[in-house]
Amino acid sequence: MTERIKIKEIKTSTQSNVDRYNPSNRIYVRAVYGLFQKLRRYTGWGLIILFLALPMIRWNGHQAVLFDIAKQQYHIFNMTLFPQDLTLLAWIFIIAAFALFFITTYLGRVWCGYTCPQTVWTFIFIWFEERFEGTANKRKRLDQMPWSFNKIWRKAAKHTGWIIVSLLTGLAFSSYFVPVDELYFDFITFNGGFATTASILFFATITYANAGWMRSIVCTHMCPYARFQSTMFDKDTYIVGYDTTRGEKRGPRRRKADPKELGLGDCVDCDLCVQVCPTGIDIRDGLQYECINCGACIDACDETMVKMGYEKGLISYTSEQKLAGKETHVMRPKIIGYGLMLLVMIGMFITNIINLSSAELEIVRDRTALYRENSEGLIENTYTLKILNKTIETQTYDLSFSGLQDAQLIGPKKIVIKSGEILTQPISIAVDAYDMKEKKVMITIKLTSSTGDVEEIEQQSPFFTGS
């Protein structure tokens, strides 16, 4: 082949001296305010409050959300799940995957920019930096200064804040698996078990390292999502994009100067879009996998445009089609396919929840003998009932059976089972052999709620006579 593949050469900004591909280089993110940063801030705080508050909520006398691994019980408000119900977890993962595909195809990496825990916690940690060490330029100068009392106390205060947030994160995460009533008290009083304490410290360390030190390295070097997102993008996907037609040729100028007379575009080359970017890229170089669609560069550029008296939107949420002067197609086969699959998965998940039983009944026959003749001359079959109460309350069931005429139940007629308890109850069913015409009859054993609060449970099992 003699044809050469066309290569687009991208030159990085000369104003940013940070090599973003070198993990050892630190990015000093400049604070920016605007519509999208306000939206991101409110979204982040809302998710954090939800994360912290869910384990604190009481529901019918117990923790609303608790995944008790030791007891193999998973409480989610009014629903208690057991290991055999964890197929629901698979449905949740499938729904999350298709939701991610759908949103990414439509709006790009908005998950990364607005709701990803790495992003949310990173900006919390940056907030502590700004409060104790100042703006981005002040933080950079402080790091270059020799150690002094001023530098030591500021660094110590910042890291203390980081450690407190990290420990609270570890405690909040662990409270989904350990009852919150005892978790915080045991940790503060140093009475927690080894496994619980180790898990808290582990997640605290991970939070401290990821949000405090690695930050964008997680996004650019560790997160797989940035690598495979290109398979979901197309030219109609909404991305953060720079309008080169309007912005070029870029260059500085006085506020009242006419850019057309100077042969310039609207971009004043202030480099603010680079300084506010959490991953340190220059959006003017085009679409890059490091971009997390956070909109920080949009707010920074809009602020500059307002000051210069230009129209906003030089950097905006747009698509490659729109940047090329074409129409963006929202409804397209890929996004319709993802949307339909998402609806199907949600429907199947809801169906599984609706069909989820409040109790389970397993019948185990006596394995030593198919039947026996008791002292009254009746043919008797012995069964062991294993009953699991999957509700959050103690349940009373009436025990009965059908399928045999003139037969009697030997055992309790009422069964009381505590929440989450697996009760093993032996019973026998006896019948006069004279009334039996067949060697084997299928019977149905039923459990009916005495209060009628839960549905009837029934299971079939064979009854042998030997006749």
The mean predicted confidence, pLDDT, of the chain is 87
* Shared-domain flag, residues 300 and 393: no
* Shared-domain flag, residues 327 and 180: yes
Q: Is residue 2 part of a domain?
A: no
Confidence of residue 43 (pLDDT cuts 50, 70, 90): very high
Most confident of 85-99, 197-211, 378-392: 197-211
> Average pLDDT for residues 375-399, to the nearest whole number?
87
Pick 63 or 22 by higher pLDDT. 63
Pick 83 or 66 by higher pLDDT. 66
* Shared-domain flag, residues 341 and 380: no
Q: Is residue 1 part of a domain?
A: no
Pick 228 or 116 by higher pLDDT. 116
Q: Helix, strand, coil shares of the chain as percentages rounded to 5?
A: 45, 20, 40
Pick 414 or 435 by higher pLDDT. 414
Pick 358 or 408 by higher pLDDT. 408
* Shared-domain flag, residues 350 and 366: no
Predicted pLDDT at 370 = 86
Confidence of residue 311 (pLDDT cuts 50, 70, 90): very high
pLDDT at 78 over 50: yes
* Shared-domain flag, residues 226 and 96: yes
Q: What is the DSSP letter of 326?
A: -
> Average pLDDT for residues 45-71, to the nearest whole number?
88
pLDDT at 140 over 70: yes
- Residue located via tokens 């949307």: 339
Angle, helices 180-188 vs 194-207, to 10°: value is 80
Predicted pLDDT at 5 = 44
pLDDT at 12 over 60: no
Confidence of residue 306 (pLDDT cuts 50, 70, 90): very high
pLDDT at 99 over 60: yes
Burial class (CB in 10 A: 0-12, 13-18, 19+), 275: buried
Of residues 385, 357, 363, the one with CA closest to residue 442: 363
pLDDT at 84 over 80: no
* Three-state DSSP class for residue 241: strand
Q: Is residue 8 part of a domain?
A: no
Of residues 249, 266, 250, 247, the one with CA closest to residue 258: 266
User: Under a CB-based contact definition with an 8 Å cutoff, are residues 197 and 203 in contact?
Assistant: no
Upper half-sphere CA count for residue 51 (Cβ side, 13 Å): 18
Predicted pLDDT at 358 = 79
Q: Is residue 103 part of a domain?
A: yes
Final residue of a domain: which of 317, 339, 356? 356
- Residue located via tokens 């506010």: 276
Strand 65-68 with 239-242, pairing: unpaired
* Shared-domain flag, residues 116 and 222: yes
CA 186 to centroid of chain Cα atoms: 27
Pick 23 or 358 by higher pLDDT. 358
Q: How many domains does the chain have?
A: 2
Predicted pLDDT at 278 = 92
* Shared-domain flag, residues 407 and 290: no
CA 277, CA 285: separation in Å to the nearest integer? Answer: 13
Confidence of residue 353 (pLDDT cuts 50, 70, 90): confident
Final residue of a domain: which of 356, 379, 397? 356
* Shared-domain flag, residues 219 and 183: yes
DSSP alpha helix (H) spans, 81-217: 87-107, 110, 117-133, 136-144, 149-174, 180-188, 194-207, 216-217
Burial class (CB in 10 A: 0-12, 13-18, 19+), 184: middle
Residues 165-216 pLDDT 10s: 999 999 999 999 999 988 988 898 888 888 899 999 999 999 999 999 998 8
Predicted pLDDT at 224 = 84
Pick 10 or 371 by higher pLDDT. 371
Q: Is residue 335 part of a domain?
A: yes
Output the pTM of the full model: 0.79
* Shared-domain flag, residues 331 and 396: no
Containing domain of residue 201, as a range?
13-356
Q: Is residue 199 part of a domain?
A: yes
Q: Is residue 230 part of a domain?
A: yes
> Average pLDDT for residues 387-398, to the nearest whole number?
84
pLDDT at 16 over 50: no
Predicted pLDDT at 18 = 52
Final residue of a domain: which of 337, 356, 375? 356
> Average pLDDT for residues 263-292, to the nearest whole number?
92
Beta pairing partners, 73: 68
Predicted pLDDT at 394 = 84
Confidence of residue 22 (pLDDT cuts 50, 70, 90): low
The CATH number of the domain holding residue 393 is 2.60.40.10
pLDDT at 467 over 70: no
Q: Is residue 4 part of a domain?
A: no
User: Under a CB-based contact definition with an 8 Å cutoff, are residues 360 and 408 in contact?
Assistant: no
Q: How many angstroms separate the Cα of 130 from the Cα of each of 16, 176, 184?
A: 21, 32, 29
Of residues 330, 324, 431, 300, the one with CA closest to residue 373: 431
Pick 15 or 307 by higher pLDDT. 307
Residue 76 neighbours by CB under 8 Å, 6+ apart: 64, 65
Predicted pLDDT at 146 = 94
Strand 379-389 with 422-431, pairing: antiparallel
pLDDT at 101 over 50: yes
* Shared-domain flag, residues 76 and 189: yes
pLDDT at 272 over 90: yes
Element containing residue 464 per DSSP (H, E): strand 457-464
Residue type, 136: A
What's the order of all strands across the beta sheet hosting 457-464? 414-417, 395-402, 440-449, 457-464
Upper half-sphere CA count for residue 3 (Cβ side, 13 Å): 2
Confidence of residue 24 (pLDDT cuts 50, 70, 90): low
Q: How many angstroms separate the Cα of 263 from the Cα of each of 250, 361, 423?
A: 9, 81, 84
* Shared-domain flag, residues 303 and 389: no
* Shared-domain flag, residues 403 and 443: yes
